[in-house]
Amino acid sequence: MGIFVGVIAFGMDELEGFLIDKRWEAAQKFLDEDNYWVAKFVFASICLGFAIIAAGMTVYWGPGAAGSGVAETLAYINGVNYHGFVGIPTLITKIIAVVLAVCAGLKVGKEGPLAHIGSLVGLFMIYLPFPFTKYFRNDREKRMLVAAGAGVGVSVAFGAPIGGVLFAYEVSKSTSFWSFSLAWRTFIATSMANFVLAFLEAAKDGNFENVTNSGLLKFGILGQVHPYGIADIPVFAVIGILAGILGAIFVIINTWLNKNRKRIHTKKWMKFVEVLLFAFVGAIIAFILPLIFQD
């Protein structure tokens, strides 16, 4: 499980980087020729194309892949057989559509979806053509593998093997199947996934001297670290207070929008059009802002 998830995470990251680079290169050609409007049209068209594929796959082929998948994973582990949660179309759509959605400029990430992807990979492991896998084809073992797979997905997203184990425990703590042995098995899987991801990244760069920077979420490298003192604590406190207030406002607005969205979106094509609208507007904003604030 860890090996498969590590390979999938690496492939998603590489494909995302490749498509984003090509997207900007296509627009940059026209910017170099001072064709600003053509460059903007090309950039928005490419983003719209990515969004069309991602939204089309999700709405009409693999609807179980809609959303981050964390809530659905939690529900499945706790006994709810969520429709469309498991399936080859769901897994393929989740992998491809997430990458294309990010490349389209939609404000989504791979962290939550990777938990869903890890869960599906863990579940599919018991259907490999080996004789011993049939002993795992029961409800208890399936939910254990789903929980462990979710932890593996989170671990490769953040480069945190122990964090992945804690996440697996968090989503399954209310069930009876969690055990100390499952925690250790999950830790082995998360560690293997992070090792595979780090190894593949090192192989790509040709640098095997440092294989510790695993995880898809990168915060960069600090060139010079400044020590913090006691006088900085009030500043951190203010930042925490503001972040809490903004987070609460975000939750309230998000809850209100989703309640009204369910009443408005009664047809599949409405969801499809909504994604294209957000992708187009987001692409225009992403293209204009750097030009406005450039030196």
Please give the domain boundaries of the chain with CATH numbers for all domains.
Answer: 2-221+267-292 (1.10.3080.10), 222-264 (no CATH)
Given a cut of 90, is residue 132 above it in pLDDT?
no
Query: Is the pLDDT assigned to residue 38 strictly greater than 90?
Result: no
Q: What is the pLDDT of residue 93?
A: 92
Rank 16-20, 64-68, 179-183 by mean pLDDT and report only the highest: 16-20
pTM of the model: 0.82
Rounded average pLDDT over 210-223: 60
* Residue located via tokens 């780090």: 198
How many helices (H) does the chain have, and how many strands (E)?
Answer: 10, 0
Q: pLDDT confidence of 214, banded at 50, 70, 90?
A: low
The residue with greater pLDDT, 40 or 91, is 91
What pLDDT, on the 0 to 100 scale, is given for residue 112?
82
Q: In the chain, helix, strand, coil percent, each to 5?
A: 75, 0, 25
CA distance 116 to 139: 18
Check residue 133 and give its pLDDT.
Answer: 79
Amino acid 248: pLDDT: 96
What is the C-alpha separation between 205 and 35, in angstroms, rounded? 35
Average pLDDT over residues 31-50: 86
Higher-scoring residue by pLDDT: 160, 11? 11
pLDDT beyond 90 at 278: no
What pLDDT was estimated at residue 210? Answer: 63
pLDDT tens-place string over residues 66-103: 888 888 888 888 777 777 788 889 999 999 999 999 88
Which one is predicted more confidently, 250 or 36? 250
Predicted confidence at residue 64, as pLDDT, reads: 86
Q: Which pLDDT band, with edges at 50, 70 and 90, does 37 fall under?
A: confident
Residue 211 predicted with pLDDT over 80:
no
The average confidence (pLDDT) of the chain is 84
Q: What is the pLDDT of residue 81?
A: 78
- From residue 169, how far is each of 98, 178, 191 by CA, in Å? 25, 7, 16
Is residue 276's pLDDT more than 60? Answer: yes
Residue 199, pLDDT above cutoff 70 = yes
In the 3-class helix/strand/coil scheme, how is 106-175 assigned residue by residue? CCCCCHHHHHHHHHHHHHHHHHCCCHHHHHHCCHHHHHHHHHHHHHHHHHHHHCCHHHHHHHHHHHHCCC
Q: What is the mean pLDDT of the segment spanning 211-221?
A: 61
- Which tops the pLDDT comparison, 236 or 295? 236
